[in-house]
């Protein structure tokens, strides 16, 4: 079974990764609006993901009108997929255990 990724496991970062995984590219303000995070908090989370090599940033424009777009890297996509697989496996294990317990209880 794949392990849960501790970096992605944090709720805010998991939500960011989910949105990034759903899009080719996402702008900073969109993420902030969807997740209800402050600019500094979102910057901190994005830096952590970028340092891990899971996300990369691209600035467009200059000055006050400039925007920052993010997208997942290949390793970010792989990490996200394996984290989701680990979560699903956890649920499947729990269902199997429940099933086993019910069978034993019936016997």
Measured from the CB atom, the residue of 51 and 93 that comes closer to another protein is: 93
Map residues 61-80 to x or -, x wherever contact with another protein holds by CB under 8 A: x-----x-------------
Residues with Cβ within 8 Å of residue 101, at least 6 apart in sequence: none
Kindly state whether residue 25 participates in binding another protein, applying the rule CB under 8 A: yes
**Footprint (CB under 8 A) of another protein, residues 39-58:** none
Measured from the CB atom, the residue of 91 and 103 that comes closer to another protein is: 91
Q: By the 8 A CB rule, do 82 and 37 touch?
A: no
- In whole angstroms, the minimum distance from the beta carbon of 10 to another protein comes to 11
CB count in 10 Å sphere of residue 21: 15
Cα(39)–Cα(31) distance, integer angstroms: 10
Residues with Cβ within 8 Å of residue 23, at least 6 apart in sequence: 71
The DSSP symbol for 64 reads G
Kindly state whether residue 4 participates in binding another protein, applying the rule CB under 8 A: yes
- Residue numbers of the site for another protein (CB under 8 A)? 4, 11, 14-15, 18-19, 21-27, 29-30, 33-34, 60-61, 67, 84, 87-88, 90-91, 94
């Amino acid at each position: 079974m794949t392990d849960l990724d501790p970096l992605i496991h944090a709720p805010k970062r998991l939500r960011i990764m989910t949105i990034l995984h759903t899009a080719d590219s996402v702008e900073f303000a969109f993420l902030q609006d969807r997740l209800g995070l402050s600019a500094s908090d979102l910057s901190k989370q994005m830096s952590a993901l970028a340092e891990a090599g899971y996300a990369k940033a691209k600035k467009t424009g200059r000055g006050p009108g400039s925007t920052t777009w993010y997208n997942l890297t290949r390793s970010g996509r792989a990490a996200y997929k394996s984290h989701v697989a680990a979560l699903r496996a956890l649920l499947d294990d729990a269902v199997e255990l429940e099933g086993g317990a019910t069978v034993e209880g019936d016997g």
